[in-house]
Amino acid sequence: MKITVETKVRAPASRVWQAYTTPEDIVQWNTASDDWHKGGWQAILDNFARYVEGRK
């Protein structure tokens, strides 16, 4: 299985690199939104785990 996520960022490459590698910047974008809840993702992960286990 291959999962690909793409996005376009309108910023200079140096600023994008800083945002992806500086701890102070990472906490600004690498957090869940207030409306995110574990239930939905947990169900997806549980199903994926069962799928992987079934392929062994």
DSSP secondary structure of 10-29? -S-HHHHHHHHH-HHHHHHH
Predicted TM-score (pTM) of the model is 0.45
pLDDT, mean of residues 32-38: 65
Q: What is the mean pLDDT of residues 45-51?
A: 76
**Measured distance CA(37)–CA(56) in Å, rounded:** 30
Is residue 31 scored above 60 in pLDDT? yes
Kindly state the average pLDDT of the residues 26-41: 71
